[in-house]
């Protein structure tokens, strides 16, 4: 399957700081990438759809000014968590689709801990 | 009602057992269906796509019943390495590839 990478794999930051997470498609071009969040013992929840060259589409209840998404190229999307708070601590996972049957391939995830 | 619902689990089975997972979805317009597995603290990995005609991949068999909006996954001769959380995933037809994940069913295969 296609390879998607994320960086960093984990990050610890102080409350009020901003954190940037990168998602890269390594062996294919992705016009669309997806950002998910997963809290402990819960399933993945879609946060937003990142579209290359245009604004991201956010799911209901996700603050677009807090979770800034930039998809500047066909292989890179970034998620910036601005003014992070402890309740933003979570596992953030990106994905990109390449399969002919619309399957998605996931990055390894970024574990964010806000102190 | 949640968009995608799964057996609550966890399932604890001995090696070699056959185990079946059930999933129902509420959006009748959903177009694509998948089973993913997720190991603890890892990303989901595609196990198999699900078709109306049913599909099999080794020990794994998936079925889709569109009329009942029901998806199943059968694992035969379970191995210790099958221990994971199994996620039922459907797409929202109006949003192309947008995935909706079920809550997952945890499987522990015991020696």
- Using CA atoms, how far apart are residues B107 and B111, in angstroms rounded to an integer? 13
Q: Which of A103, A107, A108 to mutate to test the interface with B (most CBs of B within 10 A)?
A: A103
pLDDT tens profile B43-91: 999 999 998 888 999 999 999 999 999 999 999 999 999 999 999 999 8
Closest partner residue to B91 (CB to CB) among A42, A43, A102 is A102
Q: How far apart are CA A84 and CA A15, in angstroms?
A: 5
> What is the arithmetic mean of pLDDT over A70-91?
94
Within 75-104 of A, beta carbons closer than 8 Å to B belong to 91, 93, 95, 97, 101-104
Determine what percent of chain A is predicted with pLDDT higher than 90. Answer: 71
Q: In this structure, what token pair is assigned to residue B82?
A: 């099958």
Lookup result for tokens 């960093």? A8
How much is the pLDDT for B36? 95
Give pLDDT, residue A29: 85
User: Exposure of A96 by Cβ count < 10 A (0-12 exposed, 13-18 middle, 19+ buried)?
Assistant: buried
| pLDDT range class, residue A1, cuts 50, 70, 90 | low
Q: How confident is the model at residue B22 (pLDDT cuts 50, 70, 90)?
A: very high
Q: Respond yes or no on whether the N-terminal peptide bond of residue B10 is cis (omega within 30° of 0).
A: yes
Share of chain B above pLDDT 70, in %: 95
What one-character DSSP code corresponds to residue A86? Answer: G
- Which residues are bridge partners to A19 per DSSP? A81
Determine phi and psi for A74, rounding to 5 degrees: -75, -5
> In A, which residues are within 8 Å of B96 by CB distance?
32, 102
Q: How far apart are CA A65 and CA A12, in angstroms?
A: 21
Query: What are residue A96's phi and psi, to 5 degrees?
Result: -140, 150
Interface with chain B: mutation pick from A21, A102, A112, highest number of B CBs within 10 Å: A102
Task: Report strand pairing: B105-110 vs B11-14.
Answer: parallel
Which token pair is B65?
A: 């019943």
Residue A104: which of B12, B32, B11 has the closest Cα?
Answer: B32
Closest Cα of chain A to B74: distance in Å? 20
A111 interface with B at CB cutoff 8 Å: yes
């Amino acid at each position: 399957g296609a390879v998607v990478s994320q960086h960093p794999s984990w990050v610890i930051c102080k409350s009020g700081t901003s954190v940037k997470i990168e998602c890269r498609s390594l062996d294919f071009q992705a016009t669309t990438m997806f950002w998910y969040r997963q809290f402990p013992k819960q399933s993945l929840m879609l946060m937003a759809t990142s579209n290359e060259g245009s604004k991201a589409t956010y799911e209901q209840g996700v603050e677009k000014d807090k979770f800034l998404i930039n998809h500047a190229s066909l292989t890179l999307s970034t998620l910036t968590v601005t003014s992070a708070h402890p309740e933003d601590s979570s596992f953030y996972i990106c994905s990109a689709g390449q399969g002919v049957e619309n399957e998605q391939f996931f990055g390894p995830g970024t574990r964010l801990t806000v102190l | 009602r949640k968009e995608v619902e799964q057996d609550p689990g966890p399932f604890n089975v001995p090696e070699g057992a056959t185990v079946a997972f059930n999933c129902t979805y509420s959006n009748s317009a959903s177009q694509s269906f998948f089973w993913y597995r997720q190991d603890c603290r890892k990303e989901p990995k595609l196990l198999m796509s699900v078709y109306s005609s049913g599909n099999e991949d080794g020990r794994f068999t998936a079925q889709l019943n569109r009329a009942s909006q029901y998806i199943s996954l059968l694992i035969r001769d379970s191995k210790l390495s099958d221990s994971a959380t199994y996620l039922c995933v459907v797409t929202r037809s109006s949003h192309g590839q947008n995935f909706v994940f079920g809550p997952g069913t945890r499987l522990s295969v015991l020696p």
